[in-house]
Each structure stands twice: as C-alpha cells, then as structure tokens.
Structure 1
Amino acid sequence: MLKQNLQFKLSQKLSPQQIQLMKLIQLPTLAFEQRLLEEMNENPALESGKDEEEVYEKDELDNNDEYDDYEGSDNIEADDINIDEYLSDDETPDYKLQSNNYSDDDDDRESPFAAPVSFHQDLINQLNTFILSDEQRDIAEFLVGSIDDDGYLRRDIQDIVDDMAFTQGIYTDEKMVEKMLHIIHELEPAGVGARDLQECLLLQLKHKTPTEYVDLAIDIIGNQFDAFTKKHYDKLLQKYGISQDHLKKTIHEIEKLNPKPGGSFTGNNKVTENIVPDFAIRINDGELELTLNGRNAPSLHVSKDYQEMMQTYKDSRDKSNSQKDAVQFIKQKLDSAKWFIDAIKQRQETLFVTMNAIMHFQQEYFLDGEETSMKPMILKDIADMVGLDISTVSRVANSKYVDTPYGTKLIKEFFSEAMKNDQGEDVSTLEIKKILQNTIEEEDKSKPLPDDQLAEILKEKGYPIARRTIAKYREQLDIPVARMRKKI
C-alpha cells in the first residue's frame, strides 16, 4: 500500500566554495602546488600574477555574497549578467600592491630526480657475468623477478616451477631451480634471494672472512636460531661452553648483518618522500616568529583576455545567440577563477592563524626544545582559540609540517592527551613517554626492567601509571618487551 506524508528535515548544505576550501586546507605544500597547476590548466581564466599587467580589484574578489546561491550558469540568462561586475577600471593592478616578504628560496624550487639502476636490474646485470645456458638464464631471471624489494624470495620452489610452466612456457624441475637459486645467492648484496631470515643471515655470514666468531655465529644461526632469537643466552653459553665475552663478540658479528639486504641497495626504486615544511618558526630576541612557506601564497589573477571578451560583448550592439553562449561560458570560468583565488586567500589565513595558536599554546616548548615542556593539547583547545571547527584544525594538523629550531615536525605531534601527576597537575602524555623512553635507555641491559617495575619507577618520579598503560606507551614508542632488550 502506497502512502504519502510530509516530513521536515533540517540539514546543512555546503556550498561549492566551502567544499573547495576544505579540500585545499588539508593539502600540504607540494600537493597544493600540484592542485594549483591543475586548476590553472583546467581554467584558462586563471593566471599567475607575476608577468601580468591587470587583475581584479581586491574588493571585487572579496565580495562573495552574489555567489553564495550560485547553482550553475545554465540557470542564468546572458542578458541578466551584469558585465560591469567582471570589468575593472583600476589602472594599478591589485597584485602589484601586495607585498611578499618570503624568501626567494621559497619560490620555483624544484627537487632533483635521479634515475639510478633498479635493484632487480642490478641483479640481472650481475647474472651476465655467469656462463649460463639460455634455459638457465631464463630461470635465473625469473627468480630475480620473484625477489621482493627487501631481497627475499618468499615463494615456494614448486610454485615457481609451476608458474614458469604456465606463464613462460619454461618446463623445468625443482632441482634446476635450486641450482639457479644458489647462483643468485652469490650475487650482491650478500643475503639476496634468501627464503627466510635465518637463511639470509647465514648467507651473509658465509660471505664474511672466516674467524672464530664468524664460525660460531654460523653454528648458532644454523643450529640454535630459536634460542638466539629468544635471547636465551644462558642456554647458548652452556651449549658451547664459552665465556660471556666470547658470546658477546659473536653476537656483535650477527648484529652487523642486514636483515633486509634489498633495502640497502642505493639504486632501489622505492618512492622517497620529499617533505616541504609548510611553516617555519624562528626565535628572534627571545620571541617566536612564525612564517608561512611562500609557496602557499601564489600571486594569481583573472585573465585580462577574458575581461576584454566581456568588454567586447558589452560594447557590441547586436548580440547573437553564439555570443550569448560564449558569455555564459566566460562567466562560468570567471566565477570559478574568483572562487579559487578567494579560497586560496582563506586557506592562507586559516593555516596561519591555526599554526599561530599552536605556537603560542606550546610557546615554552618552542623556546627551549624540551619535549617535557610540551603541554597537553587537543584539537578543541586550538579550535576554541581561533574560532574554527575541530575538523578544520584537524585538516591543518594531520598533513602539515613546521620547520623549528629543533627539526622539522609533523604538527599533529604537538597534540596529546592529559594525565594527572601526583600533584594533581595535568601533564602531557608526550612528557610521560619521553621519561619512559629515558628510563629504558638508562636501564641495565643485562637485566632489563619489566613493565611492572617501569610503572613503579615512574610512580616514584611522580607519574602514577598502570602497568598496562606502560605497555601501551612502550608499544607506541616501538620498544620491545624486557626479554628482547636483554644484552650480555
């Protein structure tokens, strides 16, 4: 049975400009520059302001009221467009009146890109030094292609045999594949082509010059690998009847090995992240100074050619249908350009005021650089200070970096929850983690401190924290359990 009823619903509808602004705010500097180039390629009415001679008046760009309800140019007749709103009589363009106090080093900086030989190609090149038949070379190259970026062959030999038969038409057996794998084990870096960590370490040890410590290390990895990984040093001392010093030097030989031989290859084609700080904080005469990266403040204006098109349409007496269609298109591009320019200005203001609030909130830390000086700070604290929504502050913090006198930091690292110390004062969890990390670094590595003892030590220092909280913080700091921290 069909029924009709009326229902009132209150909802918030974001304008296209608000959506565009939110997307721009969350972009870091490099991504913002890419987005800027895309917009300029898509919209010919938007141009860089460096070499132009005319631009929209600032008061026109800041006047957004007439666009709040814009639904698309198709709903507006050409005769209803006020051409004067798109023309400027100002002889001095607005962008020439703006100052840019950022360093020239911030502008037009390009990152060099290297084109090295890839990890796998280097292995293929090394294979060329071996005398192999065509079949053997095909098998060896297939094995090289099956090695991952860490340098491991993580596939079963039988699976490789079947895969070569089905995909390459190469019919062989496990014995031949094993033979070719032994050749790959002779390649550099040592350990490449290993099927697990144990084999990887053994291959590297066998490449080293034999000594009594290397020979013992080969025996330990080959026959006592489980006891070694679990750091059961007492069992190893008893098994081999050696002194602690002898075992310590043997373990030192093992610790010098690389568990990921592929990762050490200088030509590895992994993506390298290029971080460009969005802000810079400097200390000048005891005062903090904040600057926004100049690459976030481009000079943009609306194309002069498009303004002239509007003027031509205004001056023409006989307006044809094709001219009316053209002015609809021009208006759409001009509106889009004005929206984008305004969104960039709002982005600059939002980024600056948000980071400025964070800088003043954490002023003590930025002046002395001590992590223990970091105050508890959550998104709501900054949102209340600047009068923005929490989601906006989150967009700024999650993807932006700031260059400080103590290194380049991700902004979200300055945020932390609060905990009470024994004096009832709020302290940052970052401060507690730093103290925990220092305590573990200072412990006797022959007798590492378990979590319950760490909890007692922090309690004595004025931080009453439960053992499970210690375990959580330790995992966040990527610190292993006490048994795995043991050294002899």
Structure 2
Amino acid sequence: MQKLNLSQSLSQKLSPQQIQFIKLLQVPTAELDTRIEEELEINPALEEGKTEEKDSADEDYEDNYEEESPQDERDVNIDDYLDDEYGGYKMQGDGNYNADEEDREIPISSQSSLHEQLVSQLNFLRLDDRKKIIGEQLIGSIENDGYIRRDLEAIINDLAFSQNIETDTDELEEILRKIQTFDPAGIASRNLQECLTIQLERKDHPDDPIVRNALRIMHDCFDEFTKKHYAKIQKRCDLNDEQTKDAVNLITKLNPKPGGVADGLVRTQYIIPDFMLTNTAGKFEISLNSKNAPELRISRSYSEMFDAYDKSDKRDKKLKETVTFVKQKLDAAKWFIDAIKQRQNTLLRTMEAILQYQKEFFIDGDETNLRPMILKDIAERIDMDISTVSRVANSKAIQTEFGVYPLKYFFSEGISTDSGEDVSNREVKSVLQSMVDAEDKKKPLSDDKLVKMLNGKGYNIARRTVAKYREQLQIPVARLRKEL
C-alpha cells in the first residue's frame, strides 16, 4: 500500500550569483580575459574602460537599483526574470552548464592530428578499398600514446559487425606491419618491446654492432632489461661491460611513447602569474597582475535608456518589455563588476596571509625555510571558508625574484624532528632528493638506507613515508636507479 507523507527540511542552496562568483574566483589569469570577453559579448550594458564620473542618468539608475518601490507599476522586479537571464551564464543546474568547463584548457592552435597524419600515410600505400578500410580501422584503434592495445580478434569482430568485412589475423597483421613503417617510428606497436624493437630496426646503420647488441637485448633479455639485471644480460648475450653500457644507452634514448611526438596536440602551457611580489629593502609588496584587475564600467547609453524610461509617462506593454531587458542587463553588468572587485580582494587577502605565514621563504627562496601550512591555517587568518582558500590556491601563481611558484607549492604537511619542532614535508623531500642525487649509481640507496640517513639528520620518518615521498618525486626504486 502506497502512502504520501509531507516533511519539512532545511537545506542550503547557492544562489546563481554565488555560483558565478565561485567559478570566477577559481579562473586563472590566463583564462580571465576569455571569461570577460564572453561577458562583454552577451551583455551590451558592460564595457571596458575606467568608470566615468556619474551624471544624473547614472545616479537615477543607482537610486532605482537600490531602492525600488514594488507598488510602482513602472518598476520591474528582478525576480521575474532572474532565472531566464542567468541561464546565459552557464551555471550549475542550468541546461547550459557543463561540469567539464571548470577544467577546460586554454585554447590551442589547430594542427593536424596523429590520426590524420597516419591516414594520409595510409593513402600512399595504394591499397584496395577493402584493405584501406581495414587499415583505417587499425589506425582508429591507436591510443594517444601510439599503441594498439585492443586485441586483434576484437578488431576483426569490429570489422565484421560495423564494416561487413570478413578478415583474419594473418591479413590484419600484414596490414598492421605496413602501418608500423609509418612515422613516427614505433607507432601502432602492441607493447613496449615491439615499439623499441621497431625503432632499432629503422636505425640508419642496422649493421652497427651497438644496434645489433641492442636488438639482441630486446629479443632475448627484455624482461631483464626492464628490471635492470645487467649481469644476467651480459651472461646471456655474451657482452662485456662496455658493450652492455653502449647498447643500454642506445635503448634508453628511444621514444617509449611515439604518439606523444606527432599527435599535433602537444600542449605547451605557460604559467602566467596572478601576483607580483617585490622585496624593497626587506619590505614586501604584493600586486595583482594587471590582467587580473581589468577596468570595466556600465554603458552610459544603457544608463541613459533606463533614465529615459523612468522619466517617461507612457505605460504601454512594449516599453515595459524594453525596460525589463535594459534593467536586466544593467543589473547583470553591475553585479559582474562587483564580482571582479570581490575576486581581486579575495585574491590579495589570501596571498598576503600566505606571505606572512611563509615570510622566511620569501626572504631568500630557500625551500628548507618553508613552514608546514594547510588550507585551514590561511582560512582562519583571513576569516574565510577553507573551500574559498582552496579555489584561490588551486590555479594561481606568484612571480618572485626566485621564479614563478604555484600557490599550492606553499602548502604542505608537517614532519616532527628530534628537537620537537615541525618542519615542512617539502624540506624532507628536498633532503631526500639531495641524497638520491649524491648516491653512487652503481650501488643506489635502498629505502631502508634512506630512512636511516633521514633519521640520522633528525627527521622522524617511517619507511612507508619515504616510499611515498620518493614516488611523489618520481624517483624509481633503488634497483631501477642502478647504472653500469
């Protein structure tokens, strides 16, 4: 038996303006110009430039904006059109909102993709229509890094169902081998061993003894090569130290991801600082990048249009619809200008708090002077929510005399020392990196040895923590750091 029950509950819901400000706050400088251009395009009441001195039209609009009388039939209630107007701002909950927009990347110049380049090379083979379709199916199965990981049997099934083409493994491998002759070398390989072998076979001097030795290692000792078991390689391939070293050096110079070279979509991203820090005789000054502080103003013509309506005696429906549109755009423009100003204020307050907290680091740029600092530390100092600090720190950077640093760089957890003090884990990572850099590569330091050395320096740290930091620093295990 079904029943209907009524219940009351309280919940917090962000307004469209709050959602818009949150999105605006986390936009980095590199994308802020694009965001402002979008607003200028959809709102004719918003203009670039310094705010002019207010005249009677502006004052009349400000008065009406702040002190509307709901009893006046000429006045327009912003609630009547708020939902429709702000749909253009692509907010969460709207049909126009796309969750992926928060992570969208800076537009890049259009170039031919890897797929297009391979199809172009396929056309030079002069295959019949049937084999060309098979070749295009294989090229379509190549992943971004240049490998075909899909099983050939699965590709045969795809051809049968989607293209109505019957083929077998032998024919598929025949066409695949042709594609593997394309540039870049190693493309369409099914695994790393095949990729490196193809590149070695295409060397200009295949009879070079170093190339021959490298090929023997690929064919007979690939597993030992990946594990750096050089003694086993020397024994199985009957090579001396010098021959092994030359062959291994040649292999390590090959490209393990051929798709990353010629896909036409390699992104070179440049960090544009949001803040500029200057140190004048020990006095720090923080300023916003000029791109973070654009000059925006409300259009005079739109203010005058609103003033003209306000002074008009007409009450016809058409004129009321016109003023609804004008007021709608004026309110949106005023809010956007205020949001930009609030964004600037929030950015500066957050950065100033970080500067005060990490002042020792900003004096000389020494990483070991970084103090342990988490989002909560800064949020409490500026009396803001942790999520606000997180949005500011997530995609912003500062220009110092020591270089450009992302704000996330200054946040780290603490590690206790023998003296009872807490030091930043960045300091520990820096010491760990120095130890690895200075080690004897013929006998690299194990994690256990690194733990003992760090403990000897006063850092109370466990082996699992050393392993975690080593992985974060992208330092391989000792066995893979070994060199001949």
TM range (shorter): 0.7 to 0.9
State the alpha-carbon separation in 2 of the partners of residues 429 and 59 from structure 1: 56
What's 2:307 paired with? Answer: 311
Residues 57 and 303 of structure 2 are in contact (CA less than 8 Å); yes or no, is this contact kept in structure 1? Answer: no
Residues 1:406 and 2:402 are matched in the alignment: yes
Cα gap change, 1:480 to 1:56, in 2 (>3 Å) = farther
State the alpha-carbon separation in 1 of the partners of residues 130 and 300 from structure 2: 67
Q: What are the Cα deviations for residues 210-229 of structure 1, in whole angstroms up to 9, with x where unaligned?
A: 32222122111112211211
What's 1:87 paired with? Answer: none
Of 233, 237, 249, the residue aligned with 1:236 is 233
Q: How far 1:374 moved relative to its partner?
A: 1.3
What's 2:328 paired with? Answer: 332
State the alpha-carbon separation in 1 of the partners of residues 474 and 292 from structure 2: 35
Q: What are the Cα deviations for residues 351-403 of structure 1, in whole angstroms up to 9, with x where unaligned?
A: 11211221232222223222112121112222233232222111100121223
Ranked by relative contact order (alpha carbons within 8 Å, sequence separation 6 or more), the top structure is: 1
State the alpha-carbon separation in 2 of the partners of residues 354 and 347 from structure 1: 11
Q: How far 1:289 moved relative to its partner?
A: 3.2
State the alpha-carbon separation in 2 of the partners of residues 285 and 360 from structure 1: 16
Residues 1:367 and 2:373 are matched in the alignment: no
Q: How many residues align?
A: 452
Cα gap change, 1:76 to 1:402, in 2 (>3 Å) = farther
Q: How far 1:272 moved relative to its partner?
A: 4.7
Residues 1:376 and 2:372 are matched in the alignment: yes
What's 1:250 paired with? Answer: 247
Aligned residue for 1:452, secondary structure, equals helix
What's 2:138 paired with? Answer: 143
Residues 61 and 307 of structure 2 are in contact (CA less than 8 Å); yes or no, is this contact kept in structure 1? Answer: no
- Paired letter, 2:24: L
- Paired letter, 2:115: H
What's 1:475 paired with? Answer: 471
Cα gap change, 1:22 to 1:405, in 2 (>3 Å) = same
Given the two structures, how large is their TM-score scaled by the length of structure 2? 0.83
- Paired letter, 1:415: F
Report the aligned-residue RMSD: 3.2
What's 2:43 paired with? Answer: 43
Residues 40 and 47 of structure 1 are in contact (CA less than 8 Å); yes or no, is this contact kept in structure 2? Answer: yes
What's 1:220 paired with? Answer: 217
Aligned residue for 1:288, secondary structure, equals strand
State the alpha-carbon separation in 1 of the partners of residues 63 and 445 from structure 2: 64
What's 1:126 paired with? Answer: 121
Q: How far 1:299 moved relative to its partner?
A: 1.6
Deviates more, 1:352-361 or 1:321-330: 321-330
Aligned residue for 1:478, secondary structure, equals coil
How high is the sequence identity, in percent, across the aligned residues? 49
What's 1:89 paired with? Answer: none
Q: How far 1:62 moved relative to its partner?
A: 10
Q: How does 1:142-161 map to 2 (within 5 A)?
A: 142-161=137-156
- Paired letter, 1:145: G
Q: How does 1:254-333 map to 2 (within 5 A)?
A: 254-265=251-262, 268-333=264-329
What's 2:92 paired with? Answer: none
State the alpha-carbon separation in 1 of the partners of residues 220 and 179 from structure 2: 24
Aligned residue for 2:284, secondary structure, equals strand
What's 1:96 paired with? Answer: none
Residues 415 and 461 of structure 2 are in contact (CA less than 8 Å); yes or no, is this contact kept in structure 1? Answer: no
State the alpha-carbon separation in 1 of the partners of residues 176 and 5 from structure 2: 73
State the alpha-carbon separation in 2 of the partners of residues 43 and 76 from structure 1: 29
Residues 1:176 and 2:171 are matched in the alignment: yes
Given the two structures, how large is their TM-score scaled by the length of structure 1? 0.83
What's 1:387 paired with? Answer: 383
State the alpha-carbon separation in 1 of the partners of residues 14 and 368 from structure 2: 41
- Paired letter, 2:392: V
State the alpha-carbon separation in 2 of the partners of residues 157 and 226 from structure 1: 24
Q: What are the Cα deviations for residues 321-344 of structure 1, in whole angstroms up to 9, with x where unaligned?
A: 433343333333322222221111
Q: How does 1:201-212 map to 2 (within 5 A)?
A: 201-208=196-203, 209=205, 210-212=207-209
- Paired letter, 2:422: D
Residues 1:465 and 2:461 are matched in the alignment: yes
Deviates more, 1:205-214 or 1:412-421: 205-214
State the alpha-carbon separation in 1 of the partners of residues 387 and 61 from structure 2: 26
Q: How far 1:203 moved relative to its partner?
A: 0.6
Q: Point out where structure 1 has 5 or more consecutive residues left out of the alignment.
A: 83-110
Aligned residue for 1:214, secondary structure, equals helix
Aligned residue for 1:402, secondary structure, equals strand
Q: What are the Cα deviations for residues 393-449 of structure 1, in whole angstroms up to 9, with x where unaligned?
A: 111001212233333322112101122212112210111011111111211122221
What's 2:100 paired with? Answer: none
Cα gap change, 1:13 to 1:295, in 2 (>3 Å) = same
State the alpha-carbon separation in 2 of the partners of residues 62 and 421 from structure 1: 60
Cα gap change, 1:61 to 1:429, in 2 (>3 Å) = farther
Residues 26 and 395 of structure 1 are in contact (CA less than 8 Å); yes or no, is this contact kept in structure 2? Answer: yes
Q: How far 1:56 moved relative to its partner?
A: 9.7
Aligned residue for 1:171, secondary structure, equals coil
Aligned residue for 2:196, secondary structure, equals helix
State the alpha-carbon separation in 2 of the partners of residues 203 and 2 from structure 1: 69
State the alpha-carbon separation in 2 of the partners of residues 177 and 415 from structure 1: 53
Residues 1:34 and 2:45 are matched in the alignment: no
Q: How far 1:183 moved relative to its partner?
A: 1.4
Cα gap change, 1:222 to 1:58, in 2 (>3 Å) = farther
State the alpha-carbon separation in 1 of the partners of residues 107 and 461 from structure 2: 48
Q: What are the Cα deviations for residues 68-103 of structure 1, in whole angstroms up to 9, with x where unaligned?
A: xx9xx9x77544579xxxxxxxxxxxxxxxxxxxxx
What's 1:91 paired with? Answer: none
Q: What are the Cα deviations for residues 176-231 of structure 1, in whole angstroms up to 9, with x where unaligned?
A: 22111111222222111111101001111111223222212211111221121122
Aligned residue for 2:228, secondary structure, equals coil
Q: Point out where structure 2 has 5 or more consecutive residues left out of the alignment.
A: 78-105
State the alpha-carbon separation in 1 of the partners of residues 65 and 54 from structure 2: 24
Cα gap change, 1:360 to 1:76, in 2 (>3 Å) = farther
Residues 189 and 262 of structure 1 are in contact (CA less than 8 Å); yes or no, is this contact kept in structure 2? Answer: yes
What's 2:194 paired with? Answer: 199
Q: How far 1:59 moved relative to its partner?
A: 9.7
Residues 288 and 367 of structure 1 are in contact (CA less than 8 Å); yes or no, is this contact kept in structure 2? Answer: no
Aligned residue for 1:360, secondary structure, equals helix
- Paired letter, 1:27: V
Q: What are the Cα deviations for residues 235-292 of structure 1, in whole angstroms up to 9, with x where unaligned?
A: 2222233322221222111111110112122x52245545432222234445433221
What's 1:94 paired with? Answer: none
Q: How far 1:131 moved relative to its partner?
A: 4.5
- Paired letter, 1:49: G
Residues 217 and 250 of structure 1 are in contact (CA less than 8 Å); yes or no, is this contact kept in structure 2? Answer: yes
Residues 161 and 171 of structure 1 are in contact (CA less than 8 Å); yes or no, is this contact kept in structure 2? Answer: yes
Aligned residue for 1:408, secondary structure, equals strand
State the alpha-carbon separation in 2 of the partners of residues 181 and 53 from structure 1: 71
Residues 450 and 481 of structure 1 are in contact (CA less than 8 Å); yes or no, is this contact kept in structure 2? Answer: yes
